[in-house]
Amino acid sequence: MEQQEYDIITRMNDKYMKMSKGHKAIAAYISDHYEEAVFMTAAKLGETVGVSESTVVRFASALGYEGYPEFQKALEKWVRNKLNSVQKIGAKYGKSTQSEILHSVLTADIEKIQDTIVNLDAAAFEAAVETILEADTVYLVGVRSCEPLADFLHFYLNMIRGNIVLVKTTSVTEMFEQMIRIGEQDAVIGISFPRYSMRTLKAMEFANDRNAKVITITDSIHSPMNLYSSCNLLARSDMVSIVDSLVAPLSVINALVVALCLKQPESVKKNLETLEMVWNNYQVYLNDEINFIDEEPMLHYPQTRGQ
């Protein structure tokens, strides 16, 4: 009998911090590979993860299930609900016009930004700005749908300051390899929204164990990303359709960039002037951008053959 009404993924997230090494490995695999895990026996899951069958059974029991069969049924139910999301969006918008869909989605995004304004902790935001400025090296971690957010933040942080490392990998092992030098003078920014990434969580746990400063950009106080973070930037991100809305998180990232620029205006100005000089000297934008100089587009500039 279930002890609480939380779904299986929420249970894993809530208990992750106190799990043993073997149980964390199982949770990470299920979170990232639930499509395969749902069909596995306890023995097969254990073999795939590298733990014993009995460890898998104890894992199910630790989550509040009477045994592995009940655990597997709960996982099947969760996966079935995820797969039904397309049908749900069809029922919601099936008879709507394109204009109505546009209005509905944009209105929902506006509400998410408004909710974020009300609930974002100003002190946490200020602490995040100071941490980013003071860190020797800043590591950025965002996978799956959060990867574009990490890319965007990386692009602008690189213009503001040096020593920015964007951790890009599909492997937890490679992630640790890229973060092997992280220490107490460094900081990591982990970005994750439902369904939360265990890879990102493990990276934050690793950084925390190395006494680095940990910042998270996530959706709520119940997010497992908060387990290892001392600075939580909360941005609402609900399921509007079959994809997550990342509008509010991107707005928070924009605010971070602006705040950082205002903290170091001379440094940012110098970096941008250097970049502008490099772009001009090497004609970076000549062939693939329209750059307006003296209100005339640079379309008439001669181009070297073979470019």
- pLDDT at 303 > cutoff 70: no
In a domain, 222, yes or no: yes
Q: Are residues 126 and 254 in the same domain?
A: yes
Q: Are residues 56 and 135 in the same domain?
A: no
Q: Look up tokens 């990276």; give the residue.
A: 203
Per-residue pLDDT reduced to its tens digit, 255-278? 999 999 888 777 777 777 776 776
Q: Are residues 287 and 255 in the same domain?
A: no
Q: Residue 130's domain is classified under what CATH number?
A: 3.40.50.10490
In a domain, 66, yes or no: yes
- pLDDT at 93 > cutoff 60: no
Give the count of alpha carbons within 13 A of 225, CB side only: 28
In a domain, 48, yes or no: yes
Full residue range of the structural domain in which residue 290 is found: 266-300
Q: Are residues 125 and 67 in the same domain?
A: no
- pLDDT at 34 > cutoff 90: no
Q: Are residues 134 and 225 in the same domain?
A: yes
Q: Are residues 286 and 228 in the same domain?
A: no
Q: Are residues 127 and 204 in the same domain?
A: yes
Single out the residue in 83, 110, 137 at which a domain terminates: 83
Q: Are residues 67 and 169 in the same domain?
A: no
In a domain, 236, yes or no: yes
Per-residue pLDDT reduced to its tens digit, 126-181? 999 999 999 999 999 988 888 899 999 999 898 888 899 999 876 667 788 889 99
Q: Are residues 76 and 123 in the same domain?
A: no
Strand partners of residue 218 = 234
Determine the 3-state secondary structure of 265 from DSSP. helix
In a domain, 136, yes or no: yes
Per-residue pLDDT, 168:
82
In a domain, 37, yes or no: yes
Q: Longest Cα pair distance anywhere in the chain, in angstroms?
A: 75
Q: How many domains does the chain have?
A: 3
In a domain, 110, yes or no: no
In a domain, 218, yes or no: yes
Single out the residue in 83, 101, 135 at which a domain terminates: 83
Instruction: Give the pLDDT band (50/70/90) at residue 292.
Output: very low
Per-residue pLDDT, 298:
40
Q: Are residues 220 and 288 in the same domain?
A: no
Q: Are residues 257 and 276 in the same domain?
A: no
Q: Are residues 258 and 270 in the same domain?
A: no
Per-residue pLDDT reduced to its tens digit, 191-243? 988 778 888 888 898 999 999 999 999 988 878 888 888 899 998 886 545 55
Query: Residue 25 has which token pair?
Result: 């490995």
